[in-house]
Amino acid sequence: MIQLDGVSLNYKNDITLLDNVNLHIPQGGFCWLTGPSGVGKSTLLRLLHLEKKPSSGLITILDTPTNHARRSTICRLKQRIGIVYQDFKLIPNLTVFDNIALPLRLQNIDENTVQRSNARILEWIGLEHKKYTYPKTLSGGEQQRVAIARAVIHRPNLLLADEPTNALDEYQVKRLMDLFYDLNDLGCTIIMATHNDALIRQFPATRLKLENGRLWVNDAV
Amino acid sequence: MMLFKYKTSDGLKLHRALPGQFLIPLVAAMTFLAALSIAGAYASQQLAKRWSAGAASTIILQIPMPNESLSSSNQTTTLSTTATKTKIQSVIAILSTSKELDSFHQMTDKEIDELLAPWLHESIQSFALPIPAIIELHLKHDPPLSITLEKTLKQTVPDISIEQSNFWNQRLNALANSLQTSAFLALIIVISVAATVIALSTRTGLMQCKQTIEILHNLGASDAYISFRFANRSAFLASVGGTIGSVFSVPLLLFLTYLSLPFSSDPNWQALSNASWFYFLITTPFQLFGLFILLPICNYFIGWITTTIIVYFWLRRLT
């Protein structure tokens, strides 16, 4: 369960990015996060990923109140969250394989499982032949697929995706949505930021609209 | 953590972020200075011990006309049984019962002859001079002699002369203590400089790996994991520097030990200084060799603790 109670976020004390945002998403929910460019969608996702602290208000992630949580609790929570950044944030000096393996290795999963899971996900993203290459040699679409693979390899309880379909073709978008729906069926809560109205119409779900720092919730279209 | 096993797979590339070419020579230089400081502190401690236990704590009694019988007026009630004793016998009787003495020794005629030989060139006996009896007292504690014992001796033999070297003893002890304090202060400064060098190097490394650390942190890497990775690397480099510094300090410290042999408490110092280097090496105090093993270990811990603190503080900026 994800809950925001009166969450506000100010930038440099005078620009209000989020203004008294209230939100409740039950475990296993699927939401689109929409809004004009620069409105703060990525910031909201970073708040939910516990990379930022709100100026005021309470944030509960996966049933854990986070405002006064210990650093070790935050660290364990982050291990249960998958995130796809808009700019991918792959580690440049790690191979595709090692980038994808990071969340599992950080959770102390045994190396055999890491190898097996990695092989499966690499096959799914169609990059098994590039597993020993470095991110800078990949195209934008390939980097995005690696970022998606890294976000889902450990089967997170919460998946945050910031425009994950930007660099993908229609076929890859369809496959990605199938994967997200499969994860959602397994109980994973998914919040996906996008500009793509066609995609939202194609895959109807609860829509969170961020505008002028306020969040509006529309039920499934 | 699993990543500890596959630590080259976390992207931190610490051999680039924390290169050894600057840290190792700096830590080696600091270790060299630390070895000198510790050796200085050890030497001054030994010197102070020697001064306290040796000549400085010796008291000389001179008894003129030692074989003269004591007059009855000089007898104390406690010495009433020694009415027929000579001065020297009475003094020795008092000294034998005293609990504050470690030992005492009456110098023989031969020893007095040896003592005066540079001035007289022949035996004192041939001059028929009235030579006083000389007794060396070694106290259990630091001088001066207790007032009770001094009073008893003076009451028994009024013309006894008591030569106390406590003035010199106090001065020498103060000198030794200040040398020791200076050596420890130097050591603290050296440790602080080494820790500062390690801290600056760690900060530079953190800045270089900033992006990777942020990604790892966001993927759930704990503060302990990231600080462990940095601390491991720093501690390794510091211990390598420590080993090099220790090895370089060995010849100098052995040479200084060799030079300081005449001041040592070893009665065989002349034989030692003429013996082969190998023999000298095996008779060098084991504390000195302990130092060479201890310094790299201390460096390892200084590196580890400093880096861990710096990384933890740096990570506080990340939520």
Q: Kindly report, residue by residue over A83-100, the tens digit of the pLDDT.
A: 999 999 999 989 999 999
Q: Give the mutation candidate from A94, A97, A153, A159 for the B interface (greatest B CB count, under 10 A).
A: A94
User: Any CB–CB contact under 8 A between A76 and chain B?
Assistant: yes
pLDDT exceeds 90 at position B200: yes
pLDDT exceeds 60 at position B179: yes
Model confidence pLDDT, tens digit, residues A132-173: 999 999 999 999 999 999 999 999 999 999 999 988 888 889
Q: Residue B244: what residue type?
A: I
Q: How far is A204 from chain B (nearest CA, A)?
A: 29
Model confidence pLDDT, tens digit, residues B101-153: 888 888 888 888 777 777 777 777 777 777 888 998 888 776 677 888 888 88
Model confidence pLDDT, tens digit, residues A187-207: 999 999 998 888 999 889 999
Burial of B262 (0-12, 13-18, 19+ CB in 10 A): exposed
Specify the residue for token string 């470095």: A134
> To the nearest whole number, what is the mean pLDDT of chain A?
92
The winner for highest mean pLDDT among B230-239, B246-255, B273-282 is: B230-239
The residue ranges of DSSP E strands in chain A, in sequence order, are 2-11, 15-25, 30-34, 56-61, 64-65, 81-84, 158-162, 189-193, 206-211, 214-218
Model confidence pLDDT, tens digit, residues B42-55: 777 777 777 666 66
Please name the helix (run of DSSP H) or strand (run of DSSP E) that holds residue B255, with its range, or none. helix B223-259
Residues 6+ apart with CB under 8 A from A137: A130
Structure token pair of residue A15: 């620009």
Percentage above 90 pLDDT, chain A: 74
Query: Number of helices and strands (H, E) in chain B?
Result: 12, 4
**Residue A115 pLDDT class (50, 70, 90 cuts):** very high
Q: How far is A103 from chain B (nearest CA, A)?
A: 6
Q: What is the pLDDT of residue B84?
A: 67
User: Any CB–CB contact under 8 A between B222 and chain A?
Assistant: yes
Of the candidates A53, A78, A92, the beta carbon closest to that of B219 is on A78
- The interface predicted TM-score of the complex, written ipTM, equals 0.92
For A126-141, give one letter per residue: b (16+ CB within 10 A) or e.
ebeebbeebbeebeee
In chain B, the residue whose alpha carbon lies closest to the alpha carbon of A92 is B11
- What value, to the nearest 5°, has the Cα angle with vertex B251 and ends B246 and B252? 90
